[in-house]
């Protein structure tokens, strides 16, 4: 922690004057050494006071922003960064249009990035939360300048659709904990009638794969190109470990193949491998 410049000036002056003062008093009085102790204690008290004032100021600054709020642009800077003026040069093998088939190939993290960027392109501030206990990912939506979200979003990958009802319930719990009235359940695949009924009972909007593709197509061309270029970078199919943030590895188990974190056994996170 930095000390103010004037504090250092006082310390230097006192320390430079101490030897001369102590030498002069040693010849006249028996407490020349004690004078050095007095100066040392005064300097120490001054430093402690300065540090405490700085610590209190930093504590007040920390209290101004809620602890649960963090800058989403640190993780996904392209969410709120204006598109570059030049046209993005795509690789020949890189798709330039979002389709339902391409949407179903995205791993859960890239699906989250796509949905978050879609909202951000509409001027909405997006914050990612920790993935749910049954997979998928959750986003909180903010209007500019507000500190409380106005909506919650759950993004469900296409594999393991049997877990979607539980994901809807987790979304409802997130809405209750954040005191938001709006919720949206977005699936990269189809939404079964059972899931639609469960979402309707919770007052949650439902968007399936074709619906997301249609909404994404309504963005400006430059926004679509910018988002796809970022989402489809390198490997966008292999799932990311929600705990460690690294690509998982496919392993064979006694019953079926599974995605497992490469940090196993320290990290026990697994995901079912999609079929087809």
Other Cβ atoms closer than 10 A to 242: 19
For residues 261 and 188, membership in a common domain is answered with no
Instruction: Let me know: does 153 contact 141? Beta carbons within 8 Å.
Output: yes
Supply the pTM of this predicted model.
0.64
Mean pLDDT over 208-219 rounds to: 94
Q: What is the CATH number of the domain that holds 150?
A: 3.40.1350
* Confidence check: pLDDT of 159 > 80: no
For residues 228 and 112, membership in a common domain is answered with yes
For residues 41 and 158, membership in a common domain is answered with no
CB neighbour class for 238 (10 Å; exposed up to 12, middle 13-18, buried from 19): middle
271 confidence band (pLDDT: 50, 70, 90): confident
For residues 101 and 179, membership in a common domain is answered with yes
CB neighbour class for 107 (10 Å; exposed up to 12, middle 13-18, buried from 19): buried
Residue 66 lies in a domain: no
Other Cβ atoms closer than 10 A to 14: 15
Residue 241, strand partner residues: none
Q: What percent of the chain has pLDDT over 90?
A: 23
For residues 109 and 228, membership in a common domain is answered with yes
For residues 28 and 100, membership in a common domain is answered with no
Amino acid 239: pLDDT = 87
- Spatial separation of the C-alpha atoms in residues 152 and 210, rounded to whole Å: 21
- Could you read off the pLDDT of 47-70 as tens digits, one per residue? 777 777 666 655 544 444 333 333
> Which residue segment(s) compose the domain that 38 sits in?
5-51
Strands (E), 54-136: 125-128
- Could you read off the pLDDT of 170-189 as tens digits, one per residue? 889 889 988 998 999 999 88
């Amino acid at each position: 922690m930095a000390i103010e410049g004037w504090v250092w000036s006082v310390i230097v002056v006192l320390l430079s004057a101490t030897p001369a003062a102590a030498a002069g008093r040693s010849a006249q009085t028996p407490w020349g050494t004690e004078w050095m102790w007095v100066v040392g204690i005064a300097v120490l008290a001054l430093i402690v006071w300065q540090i405490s004032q700085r610590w209190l100021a930093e504590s007040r600054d920390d209290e101004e922003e809620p602890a649960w709020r963090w800058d989403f642009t640190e993780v996904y800077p392209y969410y709120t960064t204006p598109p570059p003026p030049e046209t993005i040069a795509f690789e020949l093998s890189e798709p330039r249009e979002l389709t339902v088939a391409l949407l179903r190939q995205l791993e859960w993290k890239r699906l989250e990035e796509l949905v978050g960027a879609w909202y951000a392109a509409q001027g909405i501030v997006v914050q990612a939360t920790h993935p749910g206990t049954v997979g998928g990912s959750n986003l909180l939506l903010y209007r500019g300048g507000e500190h409380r979200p106005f909506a919650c979003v759950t993004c469900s990958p296409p594999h393991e659709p049997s877990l979607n009802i539980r994901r809807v319930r987790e979304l409802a719990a997130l809405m209750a904990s954040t005191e938001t009235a709006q919720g949206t359940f977005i699936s990269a695949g189809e939404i079964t009638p059972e899931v639609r009924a469960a979402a309707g009972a919770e007052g949650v909007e439902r968007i399936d794969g074709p619906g997301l593709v249609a909404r994404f197509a309504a963005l400006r061309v430059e926004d679509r190109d910018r988002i796809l270029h970022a989402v489809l970078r390198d490997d966008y199919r292999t799932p990311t470990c929600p705990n460690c943030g690294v690509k998982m590895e496919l392993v064979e188990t006694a019953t079926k193949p599974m995605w497992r974190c490469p940090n196993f056994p320290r990290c026990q996170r697994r995901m079912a491998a999609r079929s087809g």
